[in-house]
Amino acid sequence: METRRNQLITFHPDTLHAVRTACELETPGRMDEAIDLLQEWTLKQPHFVKKMYPRIYLEAILISTKGSVEIAKRRIDKMCTMRTFSPQLFDKTDAKKDLMELHDIIKTVNLPKLTEDHYRISLIKPTGKPMPLHYNHLDFFKFSIIEGYGIRMKGLHILSPSKFVDTLVAIFKQVFSAKLASRIHVHKKVETLYEYLPKTLLPKDLGGDERSISTLYDEWLQELSTEDHINYMRMMREACTDEKLRLKDHFDENIGLSGTFRALAFD
């Protein structure tokens, strides 16, 4: 995976090694081997409309599954299936033009610097009129972000003095597993947030040293509206399925699972 450094995304010098080590793929050649196996599998899926994927995309999927090729297969299949049954959720390719209706409602940015343990902070700030919240929104969030994209959420921190937030959190906890629900924290004051996140990583709006939320948002908006990114989004929109061609799983009596498996050596 390329470690591109710019003003929007930075990494620690040892981030790549640390992440691959956590996935047990730090040995030279292991990541390439896992990517090859995953790409070989996608090529064999008759119901996949798109069969070839960028290697950096497949590596990101493998990292999200902690190096498990089999879980990565299911994750790719889930996202392709979601694009087939809910294409309207994936038809936005130009962030600046297609998401204009959201600009005065909510601002979402990924902060430039990583935490010490290599996590990136995503910040969401409501800015205007309220956005209607329905259970289908929560289901989509859980399915696509948690199960599909495989976001590994270390913690969800909500900063608000409003009592309504307590009700909202209760709704979210019904959607998530007990493990994820325990990671949701509500802060009435910004000072308690510093106990989890250092000020050096946070934007000026929250008393930190980083650029303001508005500045970061505008920079991300420009980045996500570049021609390269728009073309990439359009290309990935083709990663859907033709359900008429989907084959039922065939289970081997001895193995119990179908698919391509990584060879294992035993001493």
Hey, what are 179's tokens? 């493990």
Give the span between the Cα atoms of 260 and 187, in whole angstroms: 46
Closest CA to 185 of 199, 202, 200, 172: 172
The rounded average pLDDT for each run of 10 residues, N- to C-terminus, in the chain (267 residues) is 62 93 92 96 96 94 92 92 85 81 82 94 80 54 56 85 84 80 90 95 96 94 92 93 83 38 40
Give the pLDDT confidence score for residue 148 in this predicted structure: 54
Contact between 184 and 160 (Cβ < 8 Å): no
Give the pLDDT confidence score for residue 4 in this predicted structure: 39
Q: Is 19 exposed, middle or buried (0-12, 13-18, 19+ CB in 10 A)?
A: middle
The dihedrals phi and psi of 46, each to the nearest 5 degrees, come to -65, -25
H/E element, 21: helix 15-22
Give the span between the Cα atoms of 92 and 233, in whole angstroms: 8
Hey, what are 153's tokens? 């959420």
What does 84-111 look like in DSSP terms, one character per residue?
HH-GGGS----HHHHTGGGTTTEEEEEE
Give the span between the Cα atoms of 86 and 236, in whole angstroms: 14
Give the pLDDT confidence score for residue 152 in this predicted structure: 74
Give the pLDDT confidence score for residue 33 in this predicted structure: 96
Give the span between the Cα atoms of 187 and 53, in whole angstroms: 41
Hey, what are 3's tokens? 């470690």
- Residues 6 or more apart whose Cβ sits within 8 Å of residue 186: 158, 160, 165, 166, 169
Q: Please tell me the pTM assigned to this model.
A: 0.78
Give the pLDDT confidence score for residue 12 in this predicted structure: 94
156-159 and 184-187 as β-strands: parallel, antiparallel, unpaired?
parallel
HSE toward the beta carbon, residue 192, CA cutoff 13 A = 10
Domain boundaries, given as residue ranges, for the chain: 1-89+239-267, 95-227
